[in-house]
Amino acid sequence: MASRKDYTYQIKGNKLSLLERDQTSGTGLNYVYAGVDGDGVMDGTTSGSISLTSPVAAVTDGIELEYAYSPVYTNTGSDTMHVDRFGINGWTVVDGYLTFIRVASPGLATVNWTSSPYTATAVDSYISITDSNKWNGTHKIKSVGTDGLLQTYTEINFPTTIVSGSSDVDIGLISAAYVAGKTYGYLLRTGLDAQFGAGDYIYASGFSNVKDDGMYRVAALDTNTLYIDARYWSKAPVENSVYGTSLSTEQFDEWTDGADSISLNIAGQSNVSANIRTIYRDFCLASTSITALEDEGSNINVSSYLSKALVYYVKAKVAEDQVNIEVKEYMMREFRRMLEKHESSKVAGPRGIMTGSHSIR
């Protein structure tokens, strides 16, 4: 059974600040807070605090956010996986712009956003991101890459590293010295260990043998060397089941036992050219059949009644531009009146008052 939790939130700019009480279940109706004895007095014998802190444990799909959005963009597709919806393994920053990365299954050709089935993702078109921990919403595409990268116009500022190797990158499998008797992957290039850290995720692309292109986790560092112990990708439908079964979830092979999965292994190359860049692991889904209000032929995605209210709003703005405040106020009043009528039109029958969670029963 899942454990009971106690959350609260605050808003900080464009971020949700989530706080949790660090508590453990006690006997009966009582709860024992870390750092507090049974009487609720700080006893200093345990770590932690009675006060709110950052979330103590990870919870999959732990936050549910309900919000109103402006229907400026419309998803006209069917959201069918690998037709107009694709898995995205993570994101990085290219020239200051948010860039999503889709990683192909090991050994298969690198994702090419300019060819089928990804052709809906043209420059200046839109994608809608869902299930991301950071970038949900609609993004306009700035450039489409042949190396799995999909750059958007969303400007962000995050530390990222990119290493462009020119005939000086080695990749392969090794019985790593740092854990005797276990096999890990490695990437070797002068100074590589100074540019990435243990626990980082990297996206390596551009190898002459595409089997080595992929997203990896850095396990440890050695002189000029990154030891890698996990590989991540998104599966396509026609592929062998060895690459996974789900199109809408992240596929991975974590070599926690130090043994690489035979069918997903690294080919190994020496003195080759490749790009190695930081990737922030955040598996999400990108819908590509997104249309926006762009020209006179665009459809406004509101009901017939609300579109009449919208006419009043636009008339009000036009009157405001002409400094005709009287007309503007009249039009805005009509706009609000129609909105209110639209709201009340959906209320019918008797009403019940919900019991609050803290009310006396």
Partner 1 sequence: MKVQELMERVGMTETGRAIAYIKDGLEEMNMLAETHVTTIRFDILADQRFYTLPNDMVKMLDVRCKNHLNSKDEYRSIPRGVGNPTNKDADGI
Q: Which of 69, 75, 68, 67 is CA-nearest to residue 126?
A: 75
Residue 42 contacts partner 1 per CB under 8 A: no
The one among 66, 95, 257, 326 contacting partner 1 by CB under 8 A: 66
Long-range pairs for 107-112: beta carbons < 8 A, 24 or more residues apart: 107/210, 107/211, 107/264, 108/210, 108/236, 108/239, 109/210, 110/146, 110/147, 110/148, 110/205, 110/210, 110/213, 111/147, 111/148, 112/145, 112/146
| Contact characters 306-345, partner 1, x per CB under 8 A | xx-xxx-xxx-xx----------------xx--xx-xx--
Q: Which stretch binds partner 1 (CB under 8 A): 62-70, 164-172, 218-226, 322-330?
A: 62-70
Min dist. Cβ of residue 106 to partner 1 (A): 25
Residue bearing tokens 């919900």: 354
**Whole-angstrom Cα distance, residue 197 to residue 33?**
35
Residue 2 contacts partner 1 per CB under 8 A: yes
Supply 6's token pair: 């106690």
Q: Which of 178, 205, 181, 182 is CA-nearest to residue 193?
A: 178
Residue 354 contacts partner 1 per CB under 8 A: no
Min dist. Cβ of residue 181 to partner 1 (A): 31
Residue ranges in 251-310 that form contacts with partner 1 under rule CB under 8 A: 293-304, 306-307, 309-310
The one among 65, 262, 347, 354 contacting partner 1 by CB under 8 A: 65
Residue 248 contacts partner 1 per CB under 8 A: no
Min dist. Cβ of residue 321 to partner 1 (A): 9
Nearer to partner 1, 161 or 183 (CB): 161
Contact (Cβ atoms closer than 8 angstroms) between residue 290 and residue 75: yes
